[in-house]
Amino acid sequence: MSRKRHRLVPEAFGQKRRREGGDVEADPLRGESGSARAAVAELVRLFPRVLFEDALPPIALRSQVYSLVPDRTVADRQLRKNSPILENKISLHRSVQSTADHLTLTPFFSLSSLWRQKALQEQGEIRIIQLGFDLDAQGIIFTEDYRTRVRVTVQLVNAGVLTVRDAGSWWLAVPGAGRFIKYFVKGRQAVLGMVRKAKYRELLLSELLGRRAPAAARLGLAYHVHDLIGSQLVDCVSTTSGTLLRLPET
Amino acid sequence: MLGFLSARQAGLDDPLRLRRAESTRRVLGLELNKDRDVERIHGSGVNTLDIDPVEGRYMLSGGSDGVIVLYDLENSSRQPYYTCKAVCSVGRSHPDVHKYSVETVQWYPHDTGMFTSSSFDKTLKVWDTNTLQIADVFNFEETVYSHHMSPVATKHCLVAVGTRGPKVQLCDLKSGSCSHILQGHRQEILAVSWSPRYEYILATASADSRTKLWDVRRASGCLITLDQHNGKKSQAVESANTAHNGKVNGLCFTSDGLHLLTVGTDNRMRLWNSSNGENTLVNYGKVYNDSRKGLKFTVSCGCSSEFVFVPYGSTIAIYTVYSGEQITMLKGHYKSVDCCVFQSNFQELYSGSRDCNILAWIPSLYESVPDDEEALVVSS
């Protein structure tokens, strides 16, 4: 009796009483809830490092984070706060606008590892004076002080680590990201094609993940499915047999 | 529910709290109902709807064939099954009917004796409701996409008109002529809206991706141009200072006037702080929008967390305004939905679409919820 009364007040805001606890079996991909940081860590684990032989840092996409963290505004807010500048290791967000497809990607990586590869350590520390978050290309703007040597910046630009954004500010770039983009675009089309070819243009998530990955999807099925869900290229419908991915009618 | 009632009775809670809780519960339960219907008069798509702000009883609708129909929404029969009948209409046989499609209709904000309608035939007509005659006509050089009259104005009777030209025209109803032109946009103006909080603040949305806030008393230009990047993008790029990455199709102030919602053809909806023009960065996800002219969407009024009802293809999507969460999609129309209005007294939503139908979405009746298994186990 007392248990019922406690529930009446919040029930006024929801039409149907929600049943507590595990009635739905944990979906393979949807178990994640909580912070964007945990989501990024999870996605970084999904990234196939062997494919690029460590030439590229692990890249996770913002749309994938949306698939793991259901509330987009909260995910955005956490991602924005999530760029601490630590001593030697800087983890930050950055994005690339692919001309072919108007994707927005947000790779998360540690800059120091990249710099080590480019053998620029001997130039000494570059002091990052100001890091800003640019919403549109969603990149980090790196503006520097006159005190920092111009020569070093020119070398960084030549190495491909920095790209010019405006006078006095640069984007931090991922050199060699072209290969990733190529695999990503092809893989996305391939996985979307799998859903499109299914009968009634819908597929159960578990069935999709159980299928053999097409040759074009080299980054892994789970990686691409997260991206498709988060960028709303497929509608996620929860059914009694699990999550169903359906192509939107529009 | 009973908790709210007893708290109100005992004076523990503000009376408004029960009202807002019940309004929210009703909005969360909106659905099509077999008992409510709107009479089908239009022979072509319904472009615009407006419910009178005084009583919430009469609804105007404007169609693509230039027809304007007036409906009575009140249920005066004693039966639960009720069709909203058309009281009168400006049909094709009327001598003053619009030649082309009616894009916007709006009731006079202070009583139902007058309404205004604007159309692709480059006119804005002011109608007397009781005689259904034209009281005044404003002619423009370009087709009119949208017009709006301020709901709170007491010191002026200006109607803001957005046309295919880049200038926003302000027409004075008292004098019968265009009094003002606001310059600043570069392409056609797709939507205009006065602020419900300040009678001189106007927001306009244009196909050049910009949304501007104006104070009409100021001669020198707009107050703020809304910038989706909040000033963080490089000013050298051409897309700086844009509200969307495509045309800005629709504008709606929240009922307290503190925030402004815009939708654009980049399939995004953005929430802005209307006092400083800052993008609040609430993420609604993909709000599908392929409308080439204005999209008329609406915000709920009187709920504890406000909801926005946006036409999304052939459905209507409901989002919470401040958190961006999608509540549900209302499916029922056969073709794309063009407009929707919210009746805040009864928490009903009316939507008009290209399939010539106006659908009424009613809060579902309270159905008894099945008992918990746990309670049964405990009692047995």
- CA-angle at A229, arms to A227 and A231, nearest 5°: 65
Indicate whether A2 pLDDT > 60: no
Pick from B374, B170, B289: nearest CA to A19: B374
**Segment among A111-120, A162-171, B248-257, B365-374 with least mean pLDDT:** A111-120
pLDDT at B375: 46
Rg, C-alpha atoms of chain B: 21
pTM (2 d.p.): 0.82
For residue B359, give both structure tokens.
């659908």
Interface check B234 vs A, CB under 8 A: yes
CB neighbourhood size of A99 (10 A): 8
Domain B16-363 class, CATH top level:
mainly beta
Task: Measure CA B98 to chain center.
Answer: 22
Residues of A in contact with B283 (CB under 8 A): 72-73, 75-76
3-state DSSP call for residue A40?
Answer: helix
Helix A36-46 vs helix A221-230: crossing angle, to nearest 10? 140
Indicate whether A23 pLDDT > 80: no
Gap between the Cα atoms of B134 and B130, Å rounded: 11
**Looking at chain A, which residue has its C-alpha nearest residue B270?**
A73
Enclosing H/E stretch for B125: strand B123-128
Strand ranges across the sheet with A139-143: A130-134, A139-143, A169-172, A162-166
Mutate to test the interface with B, among A78, A79, A143, A250 (most CBs of B within 10 A): A250
Domain ranges in chain B?
16-363
Nearest CB among B3, B229, B313 relative to A135 is that of B229
Q: What does the pLDDT look like over B45-91, one tens digit per residue? A: 999 999 999 999 999 999 999 999 999 998 888 888 889 999 999 99
Interface check B183 vs A, CB under 8 A: no
pLDDT at A41: 79
**Segment among A17-31, B116-130, B152-166 with least mean pLDDT:** A17-31
Pick from B50, B141, B51, B145: nearest CA to B103: B145
Interface check B354 vs A, CB under 8 A: no
Gap between the Cα atoms of B11 and B24, Å rounded: 21
Look at A8 and B1 and tell me if their CB atoms are within 8 Å: yes
By DSSP bridging, strand B82-84 and strand B36-38 are: parallel
Sequence letter at residue A43: L
**Segment among A41-55, B12-26, B258-272, B328-342 with least mean pLDDT:** A41-55
Pick from B125, B118, B41, B49: nearest CA to B87: B41
pLDDT level of residue A69 (50, 70, 90 thresholds): confident
pLDDT at A75: 85
pLDDT at A51: 79
Residues of A in contact with B2 (CB under 8 A): 8
pLDDT at A165: 65
Pick from B60, B51, B111: nearest CA to B87: B60
Q: How many helices (H) and strands (E) does chain B have?
A: 3, 30
Gap between the Cα atoms of B201 and B244, Å rounded: 21
* B281 CB-near residues (< 8 Å, 6+ apart): A73, A76, A77, A135, B230
Residue B290 gets the label, from left (phi > 0), alpha (psi -120 to 50) or beta, of alpha
Gap between the Cα atoms of A136 and B367, Å rounded: 47
Interface check B91 vs A, CB under 8 A: no
Count Cα neighbours of A231 within 13 Å in the Cβ-side half-sphere. Answer: 19
DSSP per-residue letters across B221-275:
--SEE--TTTT-S-TTSTTTT-SSSS-EEEEEE-TTSSEEEEEETTTEEEEEETT
Look at B286 and A232 and tell me if their CB atoms are within 8 Å: yes
Mutate to test the interface with A, among B16, B23, B28, B320 (most CBs of A within 10 A): B28
Query: 3-state secondary structure string, B335-358?
Result: CCEEEEEEECCCCEEEEEECCCCE
Gap between the Cα atoms of A120 and A112, Å rounded: 10
Q: How far is CA B129 from CA A201, B88, B122, in A?
A: 51, 9, 21
Mutate to test the interface with A, among B12, B16, B232 (most CBs of A within 10 A): B232
Sequence letter at residue B133: Q
Interface check B377 vs A, CB under 8 A: no
Compute the residue count for chain A: 250
pLDDT at A98: 28
pLDDT at B45: 93
Asked if residues A69 and A77 have their Cβ atoms less than 8 Å apart, the reply is no
Residues of B in contact with A8 (CB under 8 A): 1-3
